[in-house]
């Protein structure tokens, strides 16, 4: 995969292919950020956005991809046959990176020399609207791949809010007077506790679905590998 704006070095394609073929890597990432990107790219907000997206994905998904938004990558047969293209526009790089991370596929960073786009060539990337879409995609995929952590955090927040309202507004006055003076507050606390429990339960249910999807993905990989081996035998 390579952008058609003459910013990526096509002469690096054989090296990236070689990594896939000899080291059995599933995705080779053409890393611009470790070489000449910040010197060649004159769009300040693009540079800042690349750093934010990279740090966000590597923090939330526990990985070390050097350049998440690069449009220069090489893929294994197994990755291509198991990757469902669901995103549009600039979110696709984010989606394929996170899919590879979450399914324990092997990723390699390959440093490449980046050059700025030729004169008269305009970028289709809108820094703010497309950047917001990418961040929204990261948020959505984190929720989908880690529902227990996502809904667990919401559950804890709701329970803390419920406790913060209940003890000073309901419990302490009840201890002092023997009367419940703030029934509306008590009702709100009850709803917050119920919502917190429901959120955690939803996370548990969705987490079991995610685990099942991971097992099904592994089975699909086995089938794709068998198909790949048959093709190799035919070609040889």
Mean pLDDT of the 195-216 span: 96
pLDDT surpasses 90 at 130: no
Please report the pLDDT score of residue 44 as a whole number. 63
Q: Taking every pair of C-alpha atoms in the chain, what is the biggest distance, in angstroms? A: 88
Give burial (CB, 10 Å; 0-12/13-18/19+) of 10.
Answer: exposed
Q: Residue 107: which pLDDT band, with cuts at 50, 70 and 90?
A: very high
> Is the Cβ–Cβ distance between 3 and 72 less than 8 Å?
yes
Instruction: Look at strands 27-31 and 73-75 and give their pairing.
Output: antiparallel
The secondary structure of residue 10, as a DSSP letter, is G
- The length of the chain is 236
What percentage of the chain has pLDDT greater than the value 70? 98
Sheet of 107-111, strands arranged across: 73-75, 27-31, 107-111
Mean pLDDT lowest among 79-93, 94-108, 212-226 = 79-93
Please report the pLDDT score of residue 89 as a whole number. 83
pTM comes to: 0.85
> Is the Cβ–Cβ distance between 25 and 106 less than 8 Å?
yes
Please report the pLDDT score of residue 170 as a whole number. 94
pLDDT surpasses 70 at 42: no
Q: How many helices (H) and strands (E) does the chain have?
A: 9, 3
More confident residue, 130 or 203: 203
Most confident of 40-44, 128-132, 161-165: 161-165
Residue 34's Cβ-side half-sphere holds a number of Cα atoms within 13 Å equal to 13
Q: 154 — phi, psi (to 5°)?
A: -60, -40
> Is the Cβ–Cβ distance between 161 and 184 less than 8 Å?
no
Distance separating alpha carbons of residues 2 and 13, to the nearest angstrom: 9
Q: 75 — phi, psi (to 5°)?
A: -125, 155
Beta bridge partners, 109, equal 29
At residue 59's C-alpha, the angle toward residues 53 and 62, to 5°, is 120
pLDDT surpasses 80 at 175: yes
pLDDT surpasses 80 at 188: yes
Mean pLDDT of the 150-167 span: 97
Q: Residue 50: which pLDDT band, with cuts at 50, 70 and 90?
A: confident
Mean pLDDT lowest among 39-53, 55-69, 73-87, 183-197 = 39-53
């Amino acid at each position: 995969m390579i952008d058609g704006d003459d910013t990526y070095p096509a002469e690096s394609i054989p090296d990236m292919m070689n990594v896939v073929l000899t080291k059995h890597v599933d995705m080779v990432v053409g890393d611009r950020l470790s070489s000449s990107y910040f010197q060649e790219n004159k769009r300040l907000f693009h540079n800042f956005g690349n750093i934010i997206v990279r740090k966000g994905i590597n923090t939330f998904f526990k990985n070390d991809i050097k350049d998440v938004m690069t449009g220069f990558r090489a893929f294994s047969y197994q990755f291509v046959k198991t990757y469902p293209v669901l995103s549009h526009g600039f979110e696709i790089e984010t989606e394929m990176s996170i899919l590879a991370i979450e399914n324990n596929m092997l990723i390699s960073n390959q440093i490449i020399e980046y050059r700025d786009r030729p004169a008269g060539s305009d970028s289709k990337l809108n820094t703010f609207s497309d950047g917001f879409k990418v961040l929204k995609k990261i948020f959505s995929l984190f929720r989908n791949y880690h529902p227990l952590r996502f809904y667990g955090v919401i559950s804890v927040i709701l329970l803390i809010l419920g406790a913060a309202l209940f003890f000073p507004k309901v419990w302490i006055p009840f201890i002092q007077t023997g009367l419940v003076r703030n029934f509306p507050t008590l009702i709100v606390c009850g709803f917050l506790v119920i919502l917190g429990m429901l959120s955690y339960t939803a996370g548990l249910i969705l987490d079991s679905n995610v685990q099942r999807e991971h097992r099904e993905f592994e089975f699909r990989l086995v089938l794709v590998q068998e198909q790949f081996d048959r093709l190799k035998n035919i070609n040889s």
